[in-house]
């Protein structure tokens, strides 16, 4: 990133969005991300722009449901990819500590270098925060049925045996495969039309940093799980976008 | 880009979008793009996804108007940034040759290395295609009023003196500054709500490769310019998106 790109004016209307972007760029430079991660982040930025770069009411309701499902779970796990770790590693370590559950690093384009960089980053943050969260993913010993190649690798004590998996920014194929294993899959995705959003048990249409900060606040309240209508939540997010667009100009 | 990322299955529902993405990644590896270019491409991908990865009727009408305005212009120029060159250098060279006008490379985050890589790429393509298009931007000798720093640099025989400028994927500030100079500014932008889209004289809400291929077909038809209502075109694009979203689930 050039010096010029590094300067962000706090008065810029999209200051928070630009600061989040800088986190992704910095993680890319540390070798934590696949090339496609920047593009994926840009897609998310566009949807966040359309929902107004804010936590909309249906997303807050979904976040409460996610908290309830994680608290109810027998064996929950937070499945984090490169972008989730780049954006909110501190927050997810705090959440895992609140829930006393492991984090499993699970990346789509797995290379030893990228896994090493992500493991090192999370372990460093774990120590910095004085936490003792179990970090899985480095030694995969099981497979998610139906996924070919390295993207199906997972750890038996983590994702494989979990009954409830939190998947921020998950690939559609993997989300479907986890649902197919009978798990509760809790999705964070800014695109309400994505396959992950549609297949998830509970989908939060929100930016991952905002979601994680909200979840930290909500977990101590120990909300009860409800009969969740995920499709209704997604339509509500779409309606928020279309209301922004309708009669914008004429 | 890893080997795994390079494999794109032609049966994938988003095959064309993924192939376009590969072009951006390849240009990044050649040093032609700023770090933010991948993120900008991702934002575009999201909007393209929302319009159905197709040229919608209002975009085709706007493309005809762009052809008419370029043909009518006394001194047109195609202002290309890194992403536009990465995606459609061959098409833009063809268009410049059809119009007998120059291309000016005009990038937001200007470094000598990036300008050099872009100039070299365009000149190589020029030769490969057997064309003799004038490529400007390497020796800026004028400034766009109101823009600070290197992003205001331009060439007097190109953008500075042009009456009509085609700007695919332009930054909002620069679009406004060009309009402020009294030029006709022809914008290609997938986000109908962007400042560039709103400030342009004629805005085409379409993916830049599809736009350029359409323009090549339309220029020989020599369509006449009309009284163009740009706001109506933008609202039409927004309506297309909202119709896709309305009652998607319920």
- Whole-angstrom CA distances from B69 to A102, A125, B233 are 60, 56, 16
Q: What is the mean pLDDT of residues B48-56?
A: 92
**Where is pLDDT greater, at A22 or A154?**
A154
**CA gap A175, A196 in Å, rounded:** 6
CB atoms A193 and B248 under 8 Å:
yes
CA distance A174 to A148: 10
Find the DSSP H helices in chain B: 3-6, 15-29, 36-50, 57-72, 82-99, 112-128, 172-180, 195-199, 208-218, 230-245
In a domain, A16, yes or no: no
**CB contact (8 A) between residue A42 and residue B47:** no
Whether the pLDDT of residue A245 is over 80: the answer is no
Among B5, B235, B246, the residue with its CB nearest the CB of A109 is B5
Mean pLDDT for A129-151 is: 92
Inform me whether the pLDDT recorded for A1 exceeds 50.
no
What one-character DSSP code corresponds to residue A14?
A: T
Ranges A123-127, A246-250, B100-104: which has the least confidence:
A246-250
Domain residues for A93?
57-243
Phi, psi of A34 (to 5 degrees): -70, 160
Query: Residue A90: is its pLDDT beyond 60?
Result: yes
User: Is residue A32 within 8 Å of residue A119, measured between CB atoms?
Assistant: no
Domains of chain B: total: 1
Within an 8 Å CB–CB cutoff, is residue A241 touching chain B? Answer: yes
**Nearest beta carbon to residue B248 from set A21, A42, A235:** A235
By C-alpha distance, the chain B residue nearest A114 is B2
Among residues A47, A237, A24, A243, the alpha carbon closest in space to that of B48 is found at A47
Q: How far apart are CA B28 and CA B44, in angstroms?
A: 16
Domain membership flag for residue B7: no
Q: What is the mean pLDDT of chain B?
A: 91
pLDDT value at residue A103 = 98
CA-atom Rg of chain A in angstroms: 18
Q: Confirm if B196 and B187 have CB atoms less than 8 A apart.
A: yes
**CB distance from B73 to chain A under 8 Å?**
no
Residue of B50, B235, B249, B250 to mutate when probing chain A, most A C-beta within 10 A: B249
Residue range B58-111, pLDDT digits in tens: 999 999 999 999 999 999 999 999 999 999 999 999 999 999 999 999 987 788
DSSP per position, A93-153: HHHHHHHT--EEE--SS--HHHHHHHHHHHHHHHHHTT----EE-SS--EE-TT--GGGGE
Question: Measured between CB atoms, does A28 come within 8 Å of chain B?
Answer: yes
All residues of chain B having their beta carbon less than 8 Å from the beta carbon of residue A248 are 193, 234-235, 238
* pLDDT tens, position by position, A175-229: 999 999 999 999 999 999 999 999 999 999 999 999 999 999 999 999 999 999 9
C-alpha dist (Å) from residue A243 to A8, B190, B216 = 30, 19, 36
Q: Provide the pLDDT for residue B250.
A: 60
Q: Among B42, B231, B232, select the one facing A40 at the smallest CB separation.
A: B42
Res. B167: pLDDT tops 90:
yes
Rounded CA separation A48/A41 (Å):
10
In whole angstroms, give the CA distance from residue B4 to residue B6: 5
Option in B4, B39, B249 nearest A42 (CB): B39
Which of A97-106, B34-43, B205-214 comes out lowest in average pLDDT?
A: B34-43
Asked whether residue B46 is assigned to any structural domain, the reply reads no
Cα gap A170→A193, rounded to integer Å? 13
pLDDT value for A3: 42
Residue A9 is predicted with a pLDDT of 74
Number of H helices, E strands in chain A: 10, 8
Query: How far is C-alpha B153 from the chain's CA centre?
Result: 19
Does residue B83 lie within any of the structural domains?
yes
Do B245 and A234 lie within an 8 Å CB cutoff?
A: no
Residue B2 has pLDDT above 60, yes or no: no
- Residue A4 binned pLDDT confidence (cut-offs 50, 70, 90): very low
Q: Say whether pLDDT at A146 is over 70.
A: yes
> What confidence category does residue A30 fall into, taking pLDDT thresholds of 50, 70 and 90?
confident
- Sheet containing strand A202-204, edge to edge, reads A135-136, A103-105, A76-80, A164-168, A184-188, A202-204
CATH number at residue B139: 3.40.50.12640
Q: Is A207 near chain B, with CB under 8 Å?
A: no
Any domain includes A250: no
Task: Say if residue A65's pLDDT is above 90.
Answer: yes
In percent, the amount of chain B with pLDDT more than 70 equals: 96
Lowest mean pLDDT among A141-150, B173-182, B205-214: A141-150
Please indicate, yes or no, if residue B132 is contained in any of the structural domains.
Answer: yes
> Is A20 within the bounds of a domain?
no
Q: What is the pLDDT of residue B3?
A: 42
B215-232 pLDDT per residue, tens: 999 999 999 999 999 999
pLDDT of residue A80: 96
Q: What is the pLDDT of residue B244?
A: 77
Output the average pLDDT for chain A: 91
- Say whether residue B246 is in contact with chain A using an 8 A CB cutoff: yes
In a domain, A49, yes or no: no
Rounded Cα distance between B104 and B236, Å, is 31
Residue A87 has pLDDT above 80, yes or no: yes
DSSP per-residue letters across A143-210: E-TT--GGGGEE-IIIIIT-SEEEEET--HHHHHHHHHTT-EEEEE-S-TTSHHHHHSSEEE-S-HHH
What percent of chain A clears pLDDT 90, i.e. is strictly above it? Answer: 69
Residue-level pLDDT at B209: 95
Q: Does B25 touch chain A (CB under 8 A)?
A: yes
Instruction: Compute the nearest-CA separation of B14 from chain A (Å).
Output: 12
B231–A242 CB contact, under 8 Å: no
Contact in structure between A41 and B42 (CB atoms under 8 Å) = yes
- The reply to whether the predicted model has a pTM over 0.90 is no
Highest mean pLDDT among A145-159, B43-57, B59-73: B59-73
SS3 for A211?
A: helix
Judged against a pLDDT cut of 70, whether residue A5 lies above it is answered with no
């Amino acid at each position: 990133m050039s010096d010029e790109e590094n300067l962000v004016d706090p008065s810029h209307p999209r200051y928070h969005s630009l600061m989040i972007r800088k986190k992704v760029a910095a993680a890319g430079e540390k070798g934590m991300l696949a090339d496609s991660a920047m593009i994926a982040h840009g897609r998310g930025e566009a949807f966040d722009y359309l929902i107004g770069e804010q936590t909309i009411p249906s997303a807050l309701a979904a976040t409460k449901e996610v908290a309830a499902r994680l608290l109810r779970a027998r064996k929950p796990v937070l499945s984090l990819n490169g972008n989730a770790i780049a954006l909110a590693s501190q927050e997810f370590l705090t959440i895992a500590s609140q829930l006393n559950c492991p984090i499993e690093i699970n990346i789509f384009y797995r290379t030893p270098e990228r896994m090493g960089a992500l493991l090192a980053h999370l372990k460093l943050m774990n120590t910095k925060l004085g936490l003792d969260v179990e970090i899985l993913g480095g030694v995969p010993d099981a497979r998610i049925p139906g996924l070919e190649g390295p993207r199906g690798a997972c750890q038996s004590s983590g994702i494989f045996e979990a009954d409830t998996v939190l998947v921020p920014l998950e690939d559609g194929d993997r989300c479907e495969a986890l649902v197919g294993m009978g798990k509760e899959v809790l999705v964070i995705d800014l695109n309400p039309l994505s396959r992950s959003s549609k297949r998830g048990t509970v989908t939060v249409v929100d930016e991952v940093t905002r979601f994680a900060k909200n979840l930290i606040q909500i977990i101590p309240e120990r909300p009860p799980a409800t009969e969740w209508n995920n499709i209704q939540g997604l339509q509500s997010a779409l309606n928020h976008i279309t209301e922004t667009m309708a009669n914008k100009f004429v």
